């Protein structure tokens, strides 16, 4: 690692599974890594590997020019950094929050940081803890580009791909929310599919290989249909929304025949039916993006 002092030391606040993975990657990269967690004890393995464990967050942030905070949400970020001694110790230093929350919370933290002479970048981690320190990790960043450039050598120690999206501090959280929307909606769909399959005597293990096949259909569709949404023209040539609504109705009927809660699929079918009711029956399914928007 470079010998520039700003790039040879880092502090990690928050030692949940992700915070521990980040601190571990910094250690592996040879950075002087100071760690703190609200509940003591979680730093032990990191300290054995060479991290400096400290008793207070003010001590932790004073140890490095760059502090990475990775906790459950921005309420927790606030609880740690918006206390006199910590705020004072952070003055003139940089905070990178790799904490998931809404774009507005990121903007709020940035306003607070600016008011207290603290430089701030916001980021989102899009991959699990096991990817940290490997080429598979994906990080999104937003905030001042020159600040990002300055700290990029340290952030690179986390491995993977780092993308600076925009100066707008809320942009990383906006991507995070949108991408997690896909993930959790898909996982809810998978849970529902498994419940319906089980009621029909099909085990999760039996369905899984075919479920994977459905998963592979999606990535090319994401690319192809992006143009529809951006242009506001929803071609339903090969798969009109009327056909999607009919398919969804079958799922609702099959699930409810087994007494399975079909409220998620009912909501999706409802959006498709509203699109049809408004004269868009021959459009493609993503017309519902317009139907659900104000």
Residues found near ligand NDP in the complex (CB under 6 A): 14-19, 37-39, 42, 70-72, 76, 79-80, 99-100, 125, 128-129
Minimum CB distance to ligand NDP smaller for 181 or for 261: 181
Q: Are 122 and 168 in contact (CB under 8 A)?
A: no
- What φ, ψ does residue 31 adopt, rounded to 5°? -85, 145
Taking the complex as a whole, the smallest distance from the CB of residue 6 to ligand NDP amounts, in Å, to 24
Taking the complex as a whole, the smallest distance from the CB of residue 74 to ligand NDP amounts, in Å, to 9
Interatomic CA distance for residues 214 and 86, integer angstroms: 49
Minimum CB distance to ligand NDP smaller for 81 or for 241: 81
Taking the complex as a whole, the smallest distance from the CB of residue 97 to ligand NDP amounts, in Å, to 9
Minimum CB distance to ligand NDP smaller for 7 or for 34: 34
Minimum CB distance to ligand NDP smaller for 131 or for 243: 131
Taking the complex as a whole, the smallest distance from the CB of residue 28 to ligand NDP amounts, in Å, to 18
Taking the complex as a whole, the smallest distance from the CB of residue 233 to ligand NDP amounts, in Å, to 35
Helix 171-199 to helix 103-115 angle, to the nearest 10 degrees?
150
Interatomic CA distance for residues 139 and 125, integer angstroms: 5
| Segment (H or E) for 224 | helix 204-231
Minimum CB distance to ligand NDP smaller for 45 or for 227: 45
State the residue number with the nearest CB to ligand NDP: 16
Taking the complex as a whole, the smallest distance from the CB of residue 205 to ligand NDP amounts, in Å, to 24
Contacting residues for 102 by C-beta, under 8 A, at least 6 apart: 74, 173, 177
Taking the complex as a whole, the smallest distance from the CB of residue 75 to ligand NDP amounts, in Å, to 6
Minimum CB distance to ligand NDP smaller for 11 or for 99: 99
Pairing outcome for strands 52-53 and 32-36: parallel
Q: Are 64 and 32 in contact (CB under 8 A)?
A: yes
For 70-80, letters b (16+ CB in 10 Å) and e give bbeebebbeeb
Minimum CB distance to ligand NDP smaller for 117 or for 128: 128
CA torsion 110-112-113-116 (nearest 10°) is 160
Give Cα separations from 121 to 28, 96, 99, 283 (angstroms): 23, 5, 11, 41
Per DSSP, the chain holds a count of helices (H) and strands (E) of 12, 8
């Amino acid at each position: 690692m470079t010998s520039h002092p700003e790039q040879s030391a880092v502090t990690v606040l928050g030692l949940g599974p992700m915070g521990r993975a980040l601190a571990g990657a910094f250690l592996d990269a040879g950075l002087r890594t100071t760690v703190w967690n609200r509940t003591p004890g979680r730093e032990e393995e990191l300290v054995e590997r060479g991290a400096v464990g400290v008793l207070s967050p003010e001590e932790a942030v004073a140890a490095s020019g760059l502090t990475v905070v990775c906790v459950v949400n921005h309420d927790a970020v606030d609880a740690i950094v918006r206390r006199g001694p910590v705020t004072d110790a952070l003055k003139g230093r940089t905070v990178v929050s790799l904490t998931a929350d809404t774009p507005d919370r990121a903007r709020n933290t940035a306003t607070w940081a600016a008011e207290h002479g603290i430089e701030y970048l916001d980021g989102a981690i899009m991959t699990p803890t096991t990817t940290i320190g490997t080429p598979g990790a994906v990080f999104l960043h937003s905030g001042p580009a020159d600040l990002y450039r300055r700290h990029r050598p340290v952030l690179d120690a986390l491995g993977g791909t780092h993308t600076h999206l925009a100066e707008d501090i809320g942009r990383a959280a906006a991507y995070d929310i949108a991408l997690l929307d896909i993930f959790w909606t898909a996982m809810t769909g998978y849970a529902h599919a498994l419940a319906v399959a089980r009621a029909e005597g099909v085990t999760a293990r039996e369905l899984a290989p075919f479920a994977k096949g459905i998963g592979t259909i999606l990535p090319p569709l994401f690319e192809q249909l992006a143009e529809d949404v951006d242009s506001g023209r929803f071609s339903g040539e090969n798969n009109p929304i009327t056909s999607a609504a009919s398919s969804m109705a079958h799922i609702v009927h099959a699930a409810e025949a087994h007494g399975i809660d079909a409220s998620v699929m009912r909501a999706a079918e409802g959006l498709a039916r509203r699109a049809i009711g408004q004269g868009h029956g021959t459009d493609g399914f993503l017309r519902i993006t317009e139907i659900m928007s104000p």
